Amino acid sequence: MPDADTEYGPMKQRLQKILSHAGVSSRRAAEALILEGRVTVDGDVIKELGSSADPKVQDIRVDGSRVKARPTRRYIALNKPPGYVTTRSDPGRRKTVMELLPMSLQRVFPVGRLDMASSGLLVLTDDGEFAQRLTHPKYQVEKTYLVTILGTPLPAVMTRASRGIIVDGERLVIDRARILTTRVSREAAKPRTRIRVTLRQGRNREIRRLFRALGHPVIELHREQIGMLSVRGIAPGAFRPLSPEEIAALQGDVSPRRPRRTRVK
């Protein structure tokens, strides 16, 4: 677990990004300002677009006016165990994911939700714009889950899941699914099947509702990945800060690697 006093935001950033985040201009307009020689760092005129600076400690100016640094933001990846609700506080006094974080990180908030019985990757931040990018349907951020269901689904069932069904007036659908294993035990009345499921636009408890409606209730649900960010290497109940590269990829500043497409089997 990282030191609670660690700064979780990026340090040196490209000048055009600093100017854009400070509200000076768009990134494209900021590039023009740099090329025109209107930007200085510690008194030196900067004309190269690849130049970086640290807005917290360096004097950055545009046309002589000081550019104020954007407040430090926190970006956390948490491996949520079952039994915790994904909220900052709970009227029913159930355990919340905030109890897994130190006091110095109590200003962050969960991005999206994992229900109480589910586990896996959860992102927390105090950056509302970043949270919007991860959750708004128009950004189509992929989320991958390891799901264990009761029974052995026939190919026709998996086809219906990938095409979508209507449940309680909502269309529930998965983007991709691949059956991994089917386990039979003498103790269980029915076999259990493990599936890797990918969603781009998740509704409330969509996977659980979908498979229950198809006759295969979900026994376990674990979120493995959000975009290019993986829960691998984070112990249950532990957390770590996102790296500047991970933050940039999730914001769309660079192209995240997409998992190879697989057909429903």
In a domain, 1, yes or no: no
- The percent of residues above 90 in pLDDT, for the chain, comes to 64
54 catalytic residue (yes or no): no
- 250-265 pLDDT, tens digit per residue, is 987 554 444 333 333 3
Give buried/exposed letters for 202-238 (b at 16+ CB in 10 A, else e).
beebbbbbbbebbebebeebbbbbbbbbebeebeeee
User: Which of 90, 115, 175, 253 is flagged as catalytic?
Assistant: 115
In a domain, 190, yes or no: yes
In this structure, are 40 and 112 located in the same domain?
A: no
Beta bridge partners of 223: 120, 145
Question: How confident is residue 207, by pLDDT bands cut at 50, 70 and 90?
Answer: very high
Going by their DSSP bridges, the two strands 218-226 and 119-125 should be labelled as parallel
CB 3 within 8 A of CB 102: no
Q: In degrees rounded to 5, what are phi and psi of residue 223?
A: -85, 120
In this structure, are 49 and 166 located in the same domain?
A: no
In this structure, are 32 and 160 located in the same domain?
A: no
Q: CA dihedral in degrees (98, 103, 104, 107; nearest 10)? A: 40
H or E element at residue 12: none
- 121-133 pLDDT, tens digit per residue, is 999 999 888 898 8
For residue 222 the two structure tokens come to 């674990």
Beta bridge partners of 177: 197
206: domain range? 75-251
In this structure, are 31 and 81 located in the same domain?
A: no
In a domain, 112, yes or no: yes
**Whose CA is closest to 112, among 142, 82, 83, 92?**
142
In a domain, 2, yes or no: no
In this structure, are 29 and 134 located in the same domain?
A: no
Instruction: Tell me the CATH number at 28.
Output: 3.10.290.10
- 81-95 pLDDT, tens digit per residue, is 999 999 999 999 999
**Whose CA is closest to 9, among 76, 107, 88, 78?**
76
| pLDDT at res. 78 | 98
Give the residue carrying structure tokens 């999206």: 112
How many domains does one find in the chain?
A: 2
In a domain, 3, yes or no: no
| pLDDT at res. 64 | 93
Q: In degrees rounded to 5, what are phi and psi of residue 129?
A: -65, -40
In this structure, are 81 and 53 located in the same domain?
A: no
Going by their DSSP bridges, the two strands 75-80 and 239-241 should be labelled as antiparallel
Q: Rounded distance, CA 61 to CA 27, Å?
A: 16
